[in-house]
Structure 1
Amino acid sequence: MRARFLLMHFHPQGGSTMRLLAMTSFWLAWAASLVARLMLVAVALMIVVQVVLRFGFSYSLPWPEEAARYLMIWIVMLSGSLLVRDDQLVRVDFLDYLWSSRLMVWRNLTFRLLLAVMLGVLVWQGWDQATFAMRRTTTALQISWFWVYLAIPVGGALMLIQMLARAVEEISTGQVKAADIGESL
């Protein structure tokens, strides 16, 4: 199963730069997926413990809601890179079947260029916000807000890398994958 997955995502065509980009994309997606899953398990455990303590023992800890909230922000930003990698972002695609494959490639490249600009601004402004918030601490956890806000530039950078890998693959093959043309639910 793993070998099939690797063969699907790494193209033998292209130079070493394309293979390096594909490998980087794969390992970043793997790491983001693993970290997001671990964070989701931690959120679930914290909330279960908090509910049991609150309703079973009439006692509540001051930090689980805050920690769960901040971990969910990280989960969303990390998972966004997986959506970009698999081209599963929300879009209006009910007319895509009318377009030729060549026109779809140009439409997707335009979309990716606009997305790259937006993600670049997200990384830049997210980093500014994270460094600005560095001096303040959260209420219950008493950690720097930097670590909460850092999810924005990290997630944006991961999305940008995944989008770049997807665009390079599409340009090099000149083809649009089935997921780009639209799938019915």
Structure 2
Amino acid sequence: MRRIERIFVSLNEVAVIGLLASMTLIVGANVALRYTTNHSLPWADEAARYLMIWMTFLGAGLALRMGGHVAITNLHDFISTRSQKLLRAAIVVTLLLFFGFMVYVGWQYMERARFQQTPALRLSFRYVYAAMPVGFSLLIVHLLLIAKPFIHAGLYKQADGATENAPGAANG
């Protein structure tokens, strides 16, 4: 199971890095063309924007798994260890419900936009909006993979498989 999880995380990381690299190359080429030939690629800004959208949604699960999202820990720090576990369990359940709802909403957006096309690339907006259900589905998988250590000890998994305490989490 751990090997499958490492492969999953690695593929997710490669996808985010690939999107960032593509975005960088497109924007860099456009800037170079603009200043050397006085012409720019008419589709570069649009492509970079959609790559950034996809990068954001695909990278959100990686940030979640490493504790990279904003956390307010005042209540968590104040309550007992048992109550902290219950609070973390409630947070996980709430996030799973929210992420599931957002997969549904994203799918609805994607279906509604299937006949619209982007101005420059002439792609169906379905492919742009697909980032939302795909990204939230990945968030669900990442959350399920880290839920047990997070609930029991407030630990986040790092990319190398190590764990680290959540901000404000007590040891144990």
> Which residue in 1 is equivalent to 2:134?
154
Letter paired with 1:54: R
SS of equivalent to 1:134 = coil
The answer as to 2:171 corresponding to 1:179 is: no
Equivalent residue in structure 2 for 1:118, among 98, 109, 122: 98
* TM superposition outliers: structure 1 runs of 4+ over 6 Å: none
Residue 95 of structure 1 and its aligned partner are, at CA, apart by 5.2
Task: State the TM-score, normalized to the length of structure 2.
Answer: 0.85
Call closer, same or farther: CA 1:116–1:86 in 2, change over 3 Å. same
Q: Which amino acid aligns with 1:44?
A: T
- Sort the Cα spacing of 1:23 and 1:128 in 2 relative to 1 into closer, same or farther, 3 A: farther
Which residues of structure 1 form unaligned runs of 5+? 1-19
* 2:165 partner letter: A
Is 1:70–2:50 an aligned residue pair? yes
Write the letter of the residue equivalent to 1:175: A
Structure 1, 35-44 or 101-110: larger mean CA deviation: 101-110
What's the CA shift string for 1:24-81, capped at 9, x where partnerless?
A: 4433222111011011011111111111111221101111110000000000001101
TM-score normalised by L of structure 1: 0.79
Name the SS of the counterpart of 2:17 in structure 1: helix
Partners of 2:150 and 2:77 in 1: CA distance: 18
Question: Does the 8 A contact of 2:42 with 2:120 survive in 1?
Answer: yes
The one of 65, 90, 108 equivalent to 1:128 is 108
Identity of aligned residues (%): 29
What number of residue pairs does the alignment pair up?
161
Post-superposition shift, 1:97?
Answer: 3.6
Quick one: distance in 2 between partners of 1:125 and 1:86? 26
Alignment of 1:16-165 (within 5 A): 20=1, 22-94=2-74, 96-165=76-145
CA displacement at 1:101 relative to structure 2: 2.9
CA RMSD, 1 decimal: 1.9
* CA-to-aligned-CA distance 1:110-140 (integer Å, 9 cap, x gap): 1111111111111001011111111111111
Distance in structure 2 (CA, Å) of the matches to 1:95 and 1:121: 26
